[in-house]
Amino acid sequence: MDVKFESWKEIIKDENIVFKKTKVLTDNVLSYCPGCGHGVAHRLIAETIEEMGIQDQTIGIAPVGCSVLAYEFFDIDMQQAAHGRATALATAIKRLYPNKFVFTYQGDGDLAAIGGNETLHACNRGENIVIIFINNGIYGMTGGQMAPTTLEGMVTSTSPYGRDPQMMGHPLRITELVAMLPGTYYVTRQAVHKPANVRKTKKAIRKAFENQQQNKGLSFIEIVSNCNSGWKMTPVEANKWMEENMFKVFPLGDIKVDGELVKEL
């Protein structure tokens, strides 16, 4: 035992460290299901805040959804909002504290259904904030009901025979919608299921916070993510299903950069 312990001590030395959890994440155990994208998305935001040195100036807002407890995980000042209302809170905070960094972290039910109006108008006013939008095509927290982003034919607990667009509407591509508003400055769709995607998403988050720093206006980052629990799949199956099905309706890549559309909608 002692020998093992000593060898551990020899390896874990400052000069050998290649990765360390950012101090902007707390040590609380994440409440997310193993394999869920929420955890990675949290880490990327927290790392960006640390790297930019803005921990003491950042106010985060998490409304209702699986990420309702996000304030347990970010070591920054945070507000928990009513379901769908995060961008209204963010609007006021940013206008009252123009020098602080304000971001919202919202699920698809939250941002695109119950909070659709707040989302649209915050984007249309071009509030100088960052919106992180986790699209997993389902209501994770309440146990896998249909979301506005649920794919055609997709089975959920409230579309048990598959989503029928005639009866239940079409998957809502709210990211394309807000990209068309003059108020948005940067709109992109990313994913966090593979290292290459994680790196791209991190870059996008950094760009979004820098836009805010430079008073450029609203940055909107959709992260297409899995909900393996809600989809009733293993994490590996869920990521595969996401690539094969979600990315067809929600293709990855920048939609609007520096206030200009870079993709035909």
Partner 1 sequence: MGEIRLMMGNEAIAEAAVRAGCDGYFGYPITPQSEVLEYLMAENPYERTGMVVLQAESEVASINMLYGGGAAGKRVMTTSSSPGISLMMEGISYMAGAEIPCLIANVVRGGPGLGTIQPSQSDYFQATKGGGHGDYYLFVLAPSSVQEMSDFVKLGFEIAFKYRNPVMILSDGVIGQVMEKVELFDPIPRRTEEEIIKECPWATTGKTPDRERNIITSLDLDPIRQEKHVMHLKEKYDKMKEDVMWENIKTDDAEYLIVAYGSSARISQKTIDLARAEGIKVGLFRPITLYPFPDKELERLSKQVKGILSVEMSLGQLVEDVRLAVHDRVPVEHYGRVGGSIHTPFQVLNALKEKIVNKY
Ligand X SMILES: Cc1ncc(C[n+]2csc(CCOP(=O)(O)OP(=O)(O)O)c2C)c(N)n1
Question: Where does this chain bind ligand SF4 (CB under 6 A)?
Answer: 32-33, 36, 38, 66, 136, 140, 227-230
Residue in 71, 139, 186, 220 binding partner 1, rule: CB under 8 A: 71
Residue in 58, 104, 119, 136 binding ligand X, rule: CB under 6 A: 136
Residues 157-179 as b or e (16 or more Cβ within 10 Å = b): ebbeeebeeeebeebbbbbbbbb
Does 60 engage in binding with ligand X (CB under 6 A)? no
Q: DSSP string spanning 153-173?
A: T--BTTBTT---HHHH-PPP-
Confirm if 46 and 25 have CB atoms less than 8 A apart.
Answer: yes
Does 151 engage in binding with ligand X (CB under 6 A)? no
Residue in 37, 60, 140, 217 binding ligand X, rule: CB under 6 A: 140
* Residue count (the chain): 265
Contacts of 119 (CB under 8 A, 6+ apart): 87, 106, 111, 112, 131, 174, 178
Q: Which of residues 209-238 bind ligand X (CB under 6 A)?
A: 227
Over the window 89 to 118, marking each residue x when it contacts partner 1 by CB under 8 A and - when it does not, the resulting string is: xxxxx-xxx--x----------------xx
Identify the CA nearest to 254 among candidates 214, 220, 217: 220
75 binds, among ligand X, partner 1, ligand SF4, none (CB under 5 to 8 A by kind): partner 1
117 binds, among ligand X, ligand SF4, partner 1, none (CB under 5 to 8 A by kind): partner 1
CA–CA separation, 195 and 255 (whole Å)? 21
Confirm if 189 and 250 have CB atoms less than 8 A apart.
Answer: yes
Find the shortest distance in angstroms from Cβ 257 to ligand SF4: 28
Residue in 7, 34, 51, 82 binding partner 1, rule: CB under 8 A: 82
Nearer Cβ to ligand SF4 (138/178): 138
Find the shortest distance in angstroms from Cβ 42 to ligand SF4: 11
260 forms beta bridges with 257
Over the window 88 to 127, marking each residue x when it contacts ligand X by CB under 6 A and - when it does not, the resulting string is: -------------------xxxx-----------------
- Percent helix, strand, coil in the chain, to 5, is 45, 20, 35
